[in-house]
Structure 1
């Protein structure tokens, strides 16, 4: 007899937990960054060593940015070789760790409140906890694969609390088991270290006697000390930050606000004032709940809520350390908005979860703080409302990250030939300061199949591959035109054998160079490409040529037809160049000897410039070489110069110094003379500063042969 399956139903309590998880999974699948981003490029060095057979245990354990990524690398590296470094798998593993973390939160809650573990208020509180745990406000951590380490650390902290709380009175065996996840956390991210201190109250409180609590606490602290000692072995910080206690005391209000905003950000991400208020609210709610419960039920209350005290301390310690490390930069440059960083919320949200869970104690013990049904309804409405607002902001940011992901993917396609002067693509890869080094890394990853970064080649040929018809006639553009961008458009007239509706890529270069300054996908023979004015020498007529890549070929084929671009300073279309001014406008400081540089080298120059006692002082210095009437680089004049102020006895020289990093690829090979200039608006001309720099740029075949 055919049996008809019963209708499948989902209980309301199950839906309460599932809805935020399903929303999150959809969010990360739609918006997750699918290419390596920021610090992931530094970690990619281990892939090169593995490919060369040179990787060892020390490569997995080495410190990067104060973190020992040992267990994080143990996850990321094998997964990369299995999946071809498909970043979505790292993102989904982070989500999995978060789901497991949420499950252990519920398990701990059942341990603490077994009598009400099937009640409505129990599931409402835990449902709200899950809503916070899976809030989209953590979008930076959800959408970036490397951040799975944060969710692993959080999971380790929760598992340790669950183990410690599972046996009362506590046994030595459970204490030892609880240290294992904390060791994993410690060698995943630096905040795993503070987790030991946060869990200490639970170690002490989950004992029947003070003596045994102190004994276990000493054991715990000893293991913490050993772990920390191993962690700092071989630690050499390149850029040590000296914490200034006096600076903290002088700006204590700002630091306090920064700390409170960190605590309030999980629910008030969209507003500094609201996050500040919520930070005060959650901090006082935690302190008030602990004080009230201890007053009524003493040590028994603390034993019951011990895991939540530790979870709250983990959030508080993280916020405190983040404040010490970041608030000074926020005060001097970034402002209080810096405390709203999405990446910080995954740790600070534990304070909100802890307050909710401690709140479960009071109606269970019939302590008349507030009528629990009315209070719970109000809290639920507030959390749902604030989380919904946060989610709207998070989705907007998710759309931005999707654009970033697409942009990085396009940049990787052309990075092997990308112009070093163009920040458009290099901004995403600046974690590796040497651009030649990054190109080598990208080639290795391309060969491994981890990214698509082909070794493109410009093919010099007289064959007819087609032509480009420019909509833009030769033009003159200001340096700040359209925020520093020039949009070029046109039509392609390709040789029929090259016509391919798929995977056509147009690349623009300067006619005299074989480096890409713009790229564009082709749509039915129409194209548009944006070029940064930063890649052009000021006041030089520059010819632009187009190249086409068809399909998966690594060859860039030349197209007939060129246009010319000239970039000028705003409001200074045709200046004069005065090489022998009657007045001294400043100096360029030459080196002690002639510089000899490889083709890819960078070098520093400095000096000062001023207009004497005029009200208006120069704001930039420009650089030229030999007798050319164009500039290949410029820099701001903004450095304090007390010695020059004293020499001239005038405050008008207070910020007359400058320093610039110049690039050898911008200068032709051979012996060259570098000149520095400022613009004199009274005379309507550029004037040279005193002195010059003589240097020798080696050719490609000579590079690397000098000391």
Structure 2
């Protein structure tokens, strides 16, 4: 044991070992960057159709500040809209660039948290390094995959970045007036970025004015808060499609359940385990409230209070946001509390506790409560191990959902690309009003902001990739059977390389030697795979498709040959599947006339 202790002491005093530990903090960040690169889809999503109108107006010389400031859902996201327009024109509106912009904001938050941690544990760099590693694990959690893989979700990260930056400014050596100006501007930026951005005005004052509450500075701050709130809610209208905000008053116990589940979601986001999420959230809530009470009521150490207040305010950001989400989304059902995008709001309470608990433990040690500490240290070590284990399981489940999200979004993108040729029910399932989407996507396509471009013709030769025919291991048109006046077509379809499923299947008919013509669009509707099937898929089982078709509207006389094609929404290319059938009519069963893809 003494030898082991000596080795540990030597290791701790080596700078290389310390920086090696810090470098481990890069691993979660690199993982998120890889997830965005691999699973991000360059596709316009629900709320981004509002952003599409900005590019259209700008190209016509009609874009105004009022357009950028206009209400979108419950948001007045003026500054994110400005970011979207600038990035969009610099990158031809590459949505994945917006995803990496969100990643950049998270990295900024990480740097500000590192600065705050250094101030809290300035004399304990090893403690600081270990806590920072835990912080990075939580901050770069894959569980928030919706926020990471939807470009417009940068709005979910900006308020936190503004708050952590303000906290750093509040603890800095800058003059009081300079601190006030910087935090005032950042609070405005936060307010007009997200629906919860106004919380910045509420959580920063205890740090900003900790050294003294001068009347005129407080008055300026309150004026900024009231002015921002007035401008934000001027002509504000609650969207008709959002849940009833009064539901929490009618069902307070359900509201408390929802609130705790939301706080526990960073550790457990499975709908099947929502009771565990709620229990974990209740524990985190209790720990946070006890920490708050201890710092404000039982400590007379001003240095300790100064260190702890910043973390209390960071946790308060999640606490207050969780209240807003509970009021605004309880009516959508209890599982809404586990939505991936809200984890980007609630994880900061967990990060705050990562620092508050060691700070309070150190304070107890200084006050001579060693017997309590002997019991507390093993409990803390066990809690850290449990936290890491739960986080890893939650992250593994999130990565599986991330892969499935890519599949679903590529299916939606394929549907969008055929909006002019084969409008399908999937347009109604995945997008807003058809007329609005159709108008805007065609305008965006003309601007060159859509990759690949919209499909303009039902002639399959215009999108067929004849250089990469699929072999039998990548998909087949297996069956075409007749039932009354319709036909049932089925099979399975992958893309070249057999790594990913097809994003859609196209059915074509051919009369004599004429070109094949697309007459049916088939959604894949692939189910969420297990983690094992994600790693090693069974294409002929997992990537199946089936549809019911009618040839009455084809407009050509029988007989005709029918073929199936796998469509790749990333390249805009189609690949012929093995199997071609001839429909002769007169009650005859369709005949398989070609087995291969050629």
Count of residues paired in the alignment? 505
Given that 1:33 and 1:401 are in contact with CA atoms closer than 8 Å, whether structure 2 keeps it comes out as: no
Residue 476 of structure 1 corresponds to which residue in structure 2? Answer: 483
Structure 2 CA distance for partners of 1:446 and 1:215, relative to 1, 3 Å? same
Deviations 1:45-98 (A, max 9, x none): 111112222212222111101111211122122212222222221111111110
CA RMSD, aligned part only? 4.1
Deviations 1:213-257 (A, max 9, x none): x65444322211111122223434452879665x53442211101
Which of 407, 416, 436 is residue 403 of structure 1 equivalent to? 407
Residue 646 of structure 1 corresponds to which residue in structure 2? Answer: none
What is the CA–CA distance in structure 2 between the aligned matches of 1:343 and 1:237, rounded to whole Å? 21
1:171 maps onto 2:176 in alignment: yes
Structure 2 CA distance for partners of 1:379 and 1:505, relative to 1, 3 Å? closer
Which of 117, 125, 128 is residue 131 of structure 2 equivalent to? 125
What is the CA–CA distance in structure 1 between the aligned matches of 2:324 and 2:443, rounded to whole Å? 38
Given that 2:121 and 2:127 are in contact with CA atoms closer than 8 Å, whether structure 1 keeps it comes out as: no
Given that 2:41 and 2:406 are in contact with CA atoms closer than 8 Å, whether structure 1 keeps it comes out as: yes
Given that 1:164 and 1:203 are in contact with CA atoms closer than 8 Å, whether structure 2 keeps it comes out as: yes
Residue 162 of structure 2 corresponds to which residue in structure 1? Answer: 156
What is the CA–CA distance in structure 2 between the aligned matches of 1:291 and 1:478, rounded to whole Å? 73
Deviations 1:174-229 (A, max 9, x none): 1121111111111111111122123233344x124xx53x6544432221111112
Given that 1:200 and 1:310 are in contact with CA atoms closer than 8 Å, whether structure 2 keeps it comes out as: no
Structure 2 CA distance for partners of 1:297 and 1:560, relative to 1, 3 Å? closer
How do 1:318-357 residues align onto structure 2 when only pairs under 5 Å count?
A: 318-330=321-333, 336-357=334-355
Q: Secondary structure at the match of 1:475?
A: strand
1:141 maps onto 2:141 in alignment: no
Given that 2:243 and 2:328 are in contact with CA atoms closer than 8 Å, whether structure 1 keeps it comes out as: no
Given that 1:33 and 1:143 are in contact with CA atoms closer than 8 Å, whether structure 2 keeps it comes out as: yes
Given that 1:476 and 1:565 are in contact with CA atoms closer than 8 Å, whether structure 2 keeps it comes out as: no
Q: Could you tell which deviates more after superposition, 349-358 or 8-17?
A: 8-17
1:231 maps onto 2:232 in alignment: yes
How do 1:77-92 residues align onto structure 2 when only pairs under 5 Å count?
A: 77-92=85-100
Structure 2 CA distance for partners of 1:545 and 1:489, relative to 1, 3 Å? farther
Q: Could you tell which deviates more after superposition, 32-41 or 101-110?
A: 32-41
1:102 maps onto 2:110 in alignment: yes
What is the CA–CA distance in structure 2 between the aligned matches of 1:272 and 1:102, rounded to whole Å? 29
What is the CA–CA distance in structure 1 between the aligned matches of 2:283 and 2:485, rounded to whole Å? 52
Residue 686 of structure 1 corresponds to which residue in structure 2? Answer: none
What is the CA–CA distance in structure 2 between the aligned matches of 1:136 and 1:78, rounded to whole Å? 28
Specify the structure having the higher radius of gyration (Cα): 1
Residue 25 of structure 1 corresponds to which residue in structure 2? Answer: 33
In the alignment, structure 1 segments of 5+ residues that lack a partner are 1-7, 331-335, 461-468, 480-484, 492-502, 522-527, 567-707
Given that 2:203 and 2:314 are in contact with CA atoms closer than 8 Å, whether structure 1 keeps it comes out as: yes
Normalising by the residue count of structure 1, what TM-score does the alignment of the two structures yield? Answer: 0.64
What is the CA–CA distance in structure 2 between the aligned matches of 1:456 and 1:302, rounded to whole Å? 65
Structure 2 CA distance for partners of 1:389 and 1:548, relative to 1, 3 Å? closer
What is the CA–CA distance in structure 1 between the aligned matches of 2:385 and 2:341, rounded to whole Å? 25
Residue 599 of structure 1 corresponds to which residue in structure 2? Answer: none
User: How much does 1:510 deviate?
Assistant: 13
Given that 2:248 and 2:326 are in contact with CA atoms closer than 8 Å, whether structure 1 keeps it comes out as: no
User: How much does 1:349 deviate?
Assistant: 0.7
1:390 maps onto 2:394 in alignment: yes
> More helix per residue: 1 or 2?
2
Structure 2 CA distance for partners of 1:93 and 1:478, relative to 1, 3 Å? farther
User: How much does 1:414 deviate?
Assistant: 1.6
User: How much does 1:399 deviate?
Assistant: 1.0
Q: Secondary structure at the match of 2:454?
A: coil
Q: Secondary structure at the match of 2:489?
A: strand
1:65 maps onto 2:65 in alignment: no
User: How much does 1:489 deviate?
Assistant: 5.8
User: How much does 1:322 deviate?
Assistant: 0.6
Residue 302 of structure 1 corresponds to which residue in structure 2? Answer: 305
What is the CA–CA distance in structure 2 between the aligned matches of 1:291 and 1:490, rounded to whole Å? 60
Residue 534 of structure 2 corresponds to which residue in structure 1? Answer: none
Structure 2 CA distance for partners of 1:294 and 1:20, relative to 1, 3 Å? same
Structure 2 CA distance for partners of 1:312 and 1:443, relative to 1, 3 Å? same
